[in-house]
Structure formats: structure tokens, C-alpha cells
Amino acid sequence: MKKAVYIFLVFSITSCFTPDEYLPKIDSEKINIPLNSTESPSTFIKLGFPTGTLSKEKSNWQLRFENTADEWGIYTNPTEPIRIFNTKINRYDLINLSSIDGNTIWEYDDVKSTNIKSAIGRWGDFDFPNPESYKDVYILNWTQDSQDYYYKFQILDADINTYHFKYGPLDETSFQIETINKQEVQLYSYFSLVNNEQVKTIEPNTNEWHIHFSYQVDSINKHTKIPYSSTSNSSLGLFPSFELNHEHVEIFLDTVMNFEQINYINSRNLTFEKSKNSIGLFYQKDPITSQLQSNSKQNLILRSDDEYYVIRALNIIGSSVGNHSVTFEIKKL
């Protein structure tokens, strides 16, 4: 009888405890991402096992337009130092080469911690279903293949699904009027002012990628510990960067745990945030040689729908930001 009571008590006590969640062994995979700023500056990856990659050749475009509903940002090509001057004049025919001088204040797209501030900025009143353009005329300038380009650009109007704009060389009276329809299957629509055409092969559909490894022009003084390549502007560098498919991905940057320690249980309650871009993550400079090095202390945890991943850089091959490759390790949690 005592033995029966003892067994009953042991069973009652042990049944009060919830067993630990079972974590199966997590496999990881390694992928190599080559980047070349003059030939193939862009690689998209789709997380999963196996991880899919898609590299893109360099294309000639200057502006990209947000396709997401209720977002109206217009940005420049992040791999080129394109500067912009808002004349604050809405008469397109009055803007010419005499509109700029040594006192002209030029703006560049400004990279923030999780976003980019457009040099074009708030071009209209967005408090209406159909934005109302201020019709300011902007001057764009960039150097390509040792040739200087000056263009003027004016947003005429927009509705819930389209942008309408006028553009042309700054020193000419002729102009083009273009309409870009928002394509919500992609984050951006891309346009080449020089070639007078919309470029449609830059970006895969949003359901086909999670991370876009590429480059970003930004101030050298802002990123003193991140390696870069020089540009036509001595104060701007070309930095390794990546963009995130912010419609489907949220992130958390971990610099404490080891890659091997990160799992589903200790990741699911983290505070994730939406981010559009990041400069120099995974990269650092050797303090003596200034050579490229991977930053082994950075683990990027990503949440996409109900799936979790963690990614880290293992090593970097190549001494130049403009031509190198990175080996990443990715683990699905």
C-alpha cells in the first residue's frame, strides 16, 4: 500500500512540470555572394533550403519609384553618386544651366539606420488619395563613363496607381512626358532618363526574394569603420550594403549570442523591426592593413511570415569593395 502511494505521489509531482520543448538538430548551408561594382553589383537571395540566388548585371538607370500602396518615395540609383537640386520653381521652361552656380546646394539620398531619406524629398501633398504635386523642378547631375549629365525633372501629378512626370536634358528645350504605373508585384519601378525608358529587369517579384546584396553611395565621414570604394565625389564612398524586402521581412541584429546558440525558442520573442536597408553590416576593416574582413560578431535574425532564419558572414575573399565575394552561413530556425 505504501509503495502504491509513493508511486502515485511521484507521478503527481512530475506531472506538474511541462517538458522542455524539443529542438531538433538544425542544419545550415553556406552560400557565396560575388559582387562587382562595374559588372554585377546586385544579387538577390530567397531564403529557404536550398537558398536561391539571382545575380543581376549593371544597368543604366537613375530613378526608382516606390510601388507599395500609399508610399510615394522617389530615389536615385544607390550605386551612383547622383546629386539633386530642388529649384523650388514650377516653371519647367525657366530652368536651364543658368539655374545653377557655385552656391547651389546639392542633395544626395541620405542613408539612415533603417531607411533612406530621398534627395527629392516630399514632392507633393500626400494627405489625399491622389497626391497633389508641388510641381517643383529638380535638377539632377551625375558622372557616367567620364561624362557629366545634367537633367531636369518635374512631377506633374500622381494618382493612386501612377506617377506622371516631365524630364529632359537641362540645356535643351525639348522634353518627354512619362507615366509609370505602380506594379505592386515589385517594390520599385526603375527609369532611365538617358535612355528614355522604364527598365523592367532590375528586381524580381516580391515573392521571389528576401535580401538584396548590393552597394550604396553615402558619406565617408558617416562610416569611418566600414570599407568602401572611391567615387567621382571625394566625400562619398561606395559601400557594401543590402536591402530587405520590407513587405515580407523583419529583422533583429544580435551581437551577443554565438551563431550556434540561436534557435527558434530564443528568437521568437525578440523585438523585430522593419528595415529597408543597411550599410556595411557583416563588414569591417583590418585596423593595420585596412583589408576587408567579415564581422563574426554580427548575426542577423530574420522573420518572414512564420519562419525564422539567422545569417552570418564567414569570410570575405578579395581586397576591394568593388570586386569581392562573401561566404554566408544561413540557418533556418
Report helix, strand or coil for 259.
helix
Task: List Cβ neighbours of 21 (8 Å cut-off, separation of 6 or more).
Answer: 265
pLDDT at 111 over 60: yes
Give the residue from 213, 215, 234 showing the smallest Cα distance to 226: 215
Give me the residue spans of the domains in the chain.
28-58+205-332, 63-199
What average pLDDT is seen over the chain?
88
Query: pLDDT per residue over 263-313, tens digit each?
Result: 999 999 999 998 888 888 999 888 777 778 898 889 999 999 889 999 999
What single letter denotes the amino acid at residue 44?
F
- Tens digits of per-residue pLDDT, 42-81? 999 999 877 888 888 888 999 999 998 888 999 999 989 9
- Looking up cell 585596423, which residue turns up? 287
Distance CA 56, CA 19 (A): 49
CA-based max dimension of the chain: 105
Question: What does the pLDDT look like over 134-173, one tens digit per residue?
Answer: 999 999 999 988 899 999 999 999 988 999 999 999 999 8
